Amino acid sequence: MTIRNLLATASVAVLLGVSTGAAQAQISIGHLADYSGGTADVGVPFGQAEADAFAWVNKNGGIGGKPVNVDTNDYGYQVPRAIALYKKWSAAGNKVSAILGWGTADTEALKKFVAEDKIPDISGSYSAALTDPTGASGKTEAAPYNFFYGPSYSDALRAELTWAAEDWKAKGKPGKPKYVHMGANHPFPNAPKAAGEALATELGFEVLPPIVFALTPGDYSAQCLTLKSSGANYAYLGNTAGSNISVLNACKAAGVDVQFFGNVWGMDENAAKAAGAAADGVIFPLRTAVAWGANVPGMKTIQEISRVSDPSGTIYRPVHYVAGVCTALYMKEALDWATKNGGATGENVKKAFYQKKDWVPAGLEGVCNPSTWTDKDHRGTLKVDLYRMKVSGDTGASVADLVKNGTIKLEKVKTVDLPRKPEWLGW
């Protein structure tokens, strides 16, 4: 089944869920997705998961017996298009209860507006600038209506650097380890740059000048030669998997000996298949407690939701799909609470995020890591699970077969429980 067919199936399912209750008052949410832009490699599975999840919600009674009208739009990772859609979603008479957002540039651009209009935005951006609801940290403007599921980009990088410092020490190597930030000169890759370089310095790393490469795949041989000549020991890849694959392949060809790590969007099973041996050893954070197919109670729900766009149940879903379902069902439960406590207004949906501690959406036990948001701190978790991608052998088979036969494996390296430092809030 093609990506286009998958997306069409999900859209039909959402519409069917809504049409059965057309006479009822609907709860509306906006859904920004990147199916065709610079982050589509990871935007497709994440956006598909959110669309599937709400189609499944509608099939199973909606919210309080009412269907959810999900306005899904592929905005191509273009900020002006996101702003235009937001104007529609915030207009009087058409105001949505909440937004399932996506990119860092657009989410940060809309941060002030969602606060003014009181529309919660649970995004696919994990920028730390979205975690301070009051602005008390002084690091960023207040973001009272922004949420996301998982550790922030900054906290994930802090965990990776904590591991790297331990790794260097365990290997008994002399001198200071060298660290370099790599990625596009863009709000998304740059989001954790300052925080990462500050902690790297504190941990005793020599911080090297950043190396820039675009968000799109390309020939990055020059960047790899720069990396090699720099003598870097640890390199953070700040882009999504699509362009990271190009870097990994070019650096393998150039004989670069460096430990790569990336953000949550920087590696997945599809990227491991595409990059082959070049992806072996890359360390990245996993937002969920498990990956696709794990033997935990909540996987049954994930697989039911997946059948919305894959009735055959044969498609292997990458880590981003699983995280997308978690994200959507946090939103679903927030809408549930709001409906029972004064109605699904943005203000009530926001309050809903503060009602539970160590929250896991019902039916997703063992899949979603527990999250706690408060009105003073939107860092839902400071627990970071680090995994190493293992690739052994030819990757010509399907991802499902590669995972099944063990050619591609996600190997847990370490769980880092970061301290909830006030000075790290919003940064």
pLDDT digit string, tens, across residues 272-318: 999 999 999 999 999 999 999 999 999 999 999 999 999 999 999 99
Residue 202: exposed, middle, or buried by beta-carbon count in 10 A (0-12, 13-18, 19+)?
Answer: exposed
Question: Could you tell me what percent of the chain has a pLDDT over 90?
Answer: 93
Q: What is the pLDDT of residue 4?
A: 40
- What is the domain range of residue 318? 3-150+292-352
Q: Within this chain, do residues 259 and 335 fall inside the same structural domain, yes or no?
A: no
281 domain residue, yes or no: yes
Q: Express each pLDDT in 312-342 by its tens digit.
A: 999 999 999 999 999 999 999 999 999 999 9
Rounded to whole angstroms, how far apart are CA atoms 344 and 197?
A: 41
Place 220 in a pLDDT band, splitting at 50, 70 and 90: very high
Specify the amino acid at residue 368.
C
Q: Within this chain, do residues 181 and 320 fall inside the same structural domain, yes or no?
A: no
pLDDT mean over 165-191 = 96
- Does residue 5 register a pLDDT over 70? no
- Report how many domains make up the chain: 2
322 domain residue, yes or no: yes
Q: Within this chain, do residues 20 and 44 fall inside the same structural domain, yes or no?
A: yes
- Does residue 155 register a pLDDT over 60? yes
Q: Within this chain, do residues 137 and 281 fall inside the same structural domain, yes or no?
A: no
Please name which of 103, 91, 86 lies closest in space to residue 36, comparing C-alpha atoms.
103
Q: Within this chain, do residues 223 and 322 fall inside the same structural domain, yes or no?
A: no
Q: Within this chain, do residues 19 and 94 fall inside the same structural domain, yes or no?
A: yes
Question: Could you tell me what percent of the chain has a pLDDT over 70?
Answer: 94
pLDDT mean over 48-76 = 97
Q: What is the pLDDT of residue 1?
A: 41
Q: Express each pLDDT in 158-173 by its tens digit.
A: 999 999 999 999 999 8
Of 91 and 25, more confident? 91
Q: Within this chain, do residues 261 and 297 fall inside the same structural domain, yes or no?
A: no
Residue ranges of alpha helices (H) inside 20-145 are 40-59, 79-89, 104-117
